[in-house]
Structure 1
Amino acid sequence: MHHLLKPFEGRPAAVSARAADPVNAPMIRHWCEALGDTNPAYAGDDPIAPPTMLQAWTLPGLSTARAGRAPAHDELFALLDGAGYTAVVATDCEQEYVRPLRPGDEITFDSVIETVSPRKSTRLGAGYFITTTTRLRVAGELVGTHLFRILKYAPAPAPAGPAPARPRPVINRDNAPFWEGVAAHKLLIQRCAACGTLRFPWLPGCGRCGSPEWGTAEACGSGTVHSYVVVHHPPFPAFDPPYAVALVELAEGVRMISSITGVPHDRVRIGMPVELEFIRVDAEWELPVFRAHADRAAGADA
């Protein structure tokens, strides 16, 4: 199979493609609101775009064809789909920022299929890693590059036998007190000892003032769903898709990723109020999750 895929290396995936919209303040604002990024450089009368938005400017809409897209990309995917490698997952990306982007910049870009790996065996299934590099320009000037790697694979069959154990969290010296709080049925948030800023997830230093000194504050347990995704694929050990994973905004103002219980995955809604609870996932572990109520879900649909 690899001898059929190797010739795709070096072929263009997009040539002189044009971003659907110029860089613009509304998209910058929505991005920053979604991530909770209050950096003043991204607001005001002369904002710049957050550098990590680089790929966002090149994404096509769900129902719009991208002008400039070369046939190599679709041909490569059709070849892999036809051979049974029908699933895809992003594995990593690398970005280089040459200069800031500002509202009004009109982006053009070129993409090249850099490499197609030999067949690899992974826990998700066997497949091929495909790496593309995109170069973004404004008025012919290079403004950034984006390397993106995916795995195109054939899903592995579910293992026979008893259900696998739920994956364990990584506990280190920076977050061990958080898990001690969970064991005591407390949801602890870090509080900077120097400036008082609350932060979550737990980190070794304050993102606002840089101080390494900290204390804790116990969350009251109330929150709202800020955003969410419904996971259908790929399957992970000890998880049964589909299920909802939400970014919950706590009453204290910080956000954390958690499972939503109490309602089906398709009833979760942005803005839905939720309450903290602790669930036992096996004989050794309890985890903090957030419970929504069916009557509130019904109200959100009304």
Structure 2
Amino acid sequence: MNWVRDNWRAFVEILLLAAGIYYCIRLVRGTRGAPVVLGFLLVMLVLTSLTLALNLEVLRLLLRNFLAFFAIAVIVIFQPEVRRIFANLGSLPFFASARETRQNIEVLIKTVERLSDVRIGMLVAIEQTIQLQDVVESGVPVDCVATPEILETIFFPNNAMHDGGVIIQGDRIAYAACIFPLTQKPGLSASLGTRHRAAIGLSEETDAVVVVVSEETGAISYAHKGELVRNVSIEQLRDFLTSVLVHAPPPRGVVEWVRSLFGRSAVHAGLPANTKPGS
């Protein structure tokens, strides 16, 4: 017990360092500068190992001073990613007022109403505390303010990005043409199209709210926590979104905190293969 009491700070430091490294790897994964940084880190690891093994004092001093320049180089290389991180922090629900959230809901409501009238299919996921990192990697970056006009343009049948899901983060359209995971839940109605199955699948693995408009009937549905509610009215959809996005309590517990930091892949493993939503 004395050993644990004397070394608990070291355990905390190792845990925080490991979490920080893991989160940084997730942020840079798939970016253009990632191979450069990973290759450089590999070289630095080899040089550091040789320095410690052979006790090379001059090289150790050079490496120590070079780390400061390396930190600046990382910021320059990943400038778009750093800017995106701070932009996303500003759009988190913690920083969003109830008024702003209601305005965002109305944007989606207007879009759903218009697309439902003309029977144009739609699949939109509203990101909450769990990052949809695995999903957005399959999509096309958009990064613009969400408006009914832009959403309608994305889902217009002749648009190259219409065959997929849209991710909304705060008041912004983050990604389009995303591949959502299909649900493997047994006993579902055979009449459910791919869009509805994708909506259920994503809501099973994250806390996202997914809204669907049927391409065949124009019917409106939403999925949350693995449950699909079909054929709702505009008012029912508005009430539901308000109850979840405006009046919902903050997430609790260690699991929710971990999932909010690292996304769904930190909790779920062995997920089914993704499929492009189609109908």
TM-score by length of 2: 0.25
- Higher helix residue share: 2
Bigger proportion of residues as strand: 1
Q: Which has the higher contact order (CA 8 A, sep 6+)?
A: 2
